[in-house]
């Protein structure tokens, strides 16, 4: 730190400052270090599981990556809106459904699915702005609950509108049938359902990163998410930022919906069924933090898919003979969610608030430990937790 700041003002060492500007900041280096530790731990975990269960676990891991890429795209969209508008959009899953069905409608009427997805991306962006103008702008400054109620209303309208128009039966996208591409023996991936989904997901994640990190709009969005009043005071047009957040959020919802429909089939509750997984990803990562959403989505998607072999093991009659064990895989992300809510409610990548209230369990544990400490030092830390 001292070296960098010392070398900046001197005009003589111009060349070295140029390179110093490119040196990663201390925070970034620390992040890199943490990320590499996480990656190593994860690889060790997968490797251990592979030794235990065989290469089938790699197949589940690859499937988990595909699910994760969908969840991550959706979670970024949800968390951007969450950060800026400050409410949990319960209609998000149904917006995904709407996007998926719009693409289906267009692809049934002659357009190719890719163009259908692009048009649905644009239409959903407009829908997002309309929702803000017609409904959510009127609920600003009334706390988190009224917008949640209104978003549930929007979700009910979309979901049942889709049911009334398209019926309750399942629809399939016109995807050409093809064999899975074999990566290593025993592990394969469908070219459209797997590789395309991963590719689109990565592209969207990268574009979100570029938008947030390298554009003025992204800077304004991050500032608004951080502190609305301060952002207003510095002259940021927060109204415009809000619209931009809706556009990003809803268009990402559309693409996530199309990817979700690509993976399985379209039905009117497809979005609502996955919304809790996305909420889990958002909260695990830390609400309002897009990078946390990426991490949370990865964790949630992978854990859901990779718990399958474990649940299959539980299904064996000589273990506990669980019936329909694999049906419980959707419960795994919620267990992670509850654990995170108990021990780290600001998320694994979120910033700890200055006045974070401790969770009940931690407080009890701290009290147990603290009593012993207090007996040693009479002054104690009576208010240390707050």
Partner 1 sequence: MTGGASTHVSKQAPVPTVPWGGIVAFLAIAGIVGAGVIAGLLAGASTQGILTNLGFYASIAIIFAVLALGFNLQWGYTGLFNAGIAGFYLIGAYVAAIAITAPSPPIVVGGIPVYPGHLGGYSLPLAAGIILAMFASGATAAIIALPALRLRADYLAIATLAFASILQIFANNLQSVTGGAIGITGIPKPIAFTTADAPFLNALTIVGIGSAILLLFILLLQFMAESPWGRVLRAIREDEEATMALGKNTFNYKLQAFALGGALMGLAGALFAVTLGYISPSSSFAPSVTFSVWVMVIVGGSGNNRGAIFGAFLIYGFEWLSVQLKDYIPSALAEGLPGIRSLLIATGVAAAVLLVFVLFVGRFIWPSARSRILTTVRERAWARSAIVAAFVLYGLGWVFVFLQQYAPRAIGDTIFYLRLMFIGVLLIILIIYRPEGVLREHKRVLR
Footprint on this chain of partner 1 (rule: CB under 8 A): 87-88, 90, 135, 138-139, 142-146, 148-150, 152-157, 159-161, 163-164, 272, 276, 279-280, 283, 323-324, 327-328, 330-331, 334, 337-338, 341-342, 345, 357-361
Minimum distance of partner 1 from residue 124's CB (angstroms):
18
Place of tokens 């996480």: 38
Place of tokens 């399958």: 308
**Which lies closer to partner 1 via its Cβ, residue 23 or residue 316?**
316
- What contacts 24+ positions apart, CB below 8 Å, involve 127-132? 127/95, 127/98, 127/250, 128/95, 128/246, 128/247, 128/249, 128/250, 128/251, 129/243, 129/246, 129/247, 131/91, 131/246, 131/250, 132/85, 132/242, 132/243, 132/246
Burial 330-361 (b: 16+ CB within 10 A, else e): eebbeebbeebeeebbbbbbbeeeeeeeeeee
**From the centroid of its chain, how far is CA 231?**
25
Minimum distance of partner 1 from residue 1's CB (angstroms):
35
Minimum distance of partner 1 from residue 66's CB (angstroms):
22
**Which lies closer to partner 1 via its Cβ, residue 363 or residue 381?**
363
Nearest to 103 by CA among 175, 173, 196, 192: 173
**Which lies closer to partner 1 via its Cβ, residue 89 or residue 197?**
89
Minimum distance of partner 1 from residue 163's CB (angstroms):
5
330 phi and psi angles, rounded to 5 deg: -70, -15
Are 319 and 313 in contact by the 8 Å Cβ rule? The answer is yes
Minimum distance of partner 1 from residue 370's CB (angstroms):
18
**Which lies closer to partner 1 via its Cβ, residue 163 or residue 209?**
163
**Which lies closer to partner 1 via its Cβ, residue 61 or residue 332?**
332
What's the start-to-end Cα distance of the chain, in Å? Answer: 31
In this structure, the number of other CB atoms found within 10 A of the CB of residue 15 comes to: 8
**Which lies closer to partner 1 via its Cβ, residue 59 or residue 267?**
267
Point out which residues pair with 266 in neighbouring strands: 171
**Which lies closer to partner 1 via its Cβ, residue 8 or residue 149?**
149
Minimum distance of partner 1 from residue 302's CB (angstroms):
18
Minimum distance of partner 1 from residue 4's CB (angstroms):
38
Minimum distance of partner 1 from residue 313's CB (angstroms):
17
Helix residue ranges per DSSP H, 228-349: 228-233, 238-263, 270-285, 290-306, 308-315, 332-343
**Which lies closer to partner 1 via its Cβ, residue 31 or residue 163?**
163
């Amino acid at each position: 730190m001292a070296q960098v700041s010392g070398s900046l003002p001197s005009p003589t060492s111009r060349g070295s400052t140029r390179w110093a500007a490119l040196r990663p900041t201390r925070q970034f280096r620390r992040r890199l270090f943490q990320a590499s530790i996480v990656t190593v731990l994860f690889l060790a975990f997968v490797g251990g599981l592979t030794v235990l269960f065989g290469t089938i676990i790699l197949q589940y891991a690859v499937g988990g990556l595909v699910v994760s890429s969908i969840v991550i795209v959706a979670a970024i969209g949800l968390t951007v809106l969450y950060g800026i508008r400050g409410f949990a959009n319960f209609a998000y899953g149904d917006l995904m459904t709407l996007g998926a069905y719009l693409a289906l409608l267009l692809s049934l009427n002659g357009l190719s699915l890719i163009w259908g997805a692009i048009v649905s991306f644009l239409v959903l962006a407009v829908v997002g702005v309309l929702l803000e103008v017609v409904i959510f702008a009127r609920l600003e400054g009334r706390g988190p609950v009224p917008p949640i109620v209104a978003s549930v209303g929007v979700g009910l309208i979309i979901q049942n509108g889709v049911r009334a128009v398209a019926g309750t039966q399942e629809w399939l996208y016109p995807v050409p049938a093809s064999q899975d591409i074999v990566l290593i023996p025993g592990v394969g991936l469908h070219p459209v359902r797997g590789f395309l989904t991963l590719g689109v997901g990565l592209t969207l994640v990268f574009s979100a990163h570029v938008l947030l990190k390298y554009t003025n709009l992204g800077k304004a969005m991050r500032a608004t998410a951080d502190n609305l009043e301060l952002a207003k005071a510095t002259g940021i047009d927060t109204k415009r930022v809000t619209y931009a957040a809706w556009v990003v959020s809803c268009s990402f919802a559309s693409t996530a919906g199309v990817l979700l429909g690509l993976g399985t089939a379209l039905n009117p509750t497809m979005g609502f069924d996955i919304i809790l997984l996305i909420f889990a990803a958002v909260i695990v990562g830390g609400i309002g933090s897009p990078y946390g959403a990426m991490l949370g989505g990865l964790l949630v998607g992978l854990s859901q898919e990779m718990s399958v072999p474990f649940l299959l093991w539980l299904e064996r009659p000589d273990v506990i003979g669980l019936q329909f064990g694999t049906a419980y895989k959707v419960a795994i992300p919620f267990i992670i969610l509850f654990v995170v809510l108990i021990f780290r409610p600001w998320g694994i990548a979120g910033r700890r608030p200055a006045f974070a209230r401790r969770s009940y369990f931690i407080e009890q544990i701290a009290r147990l430990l603290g009593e012993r400490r207090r007996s040693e030092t009479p002054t104690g830390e009576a208010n240390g937790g707050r």
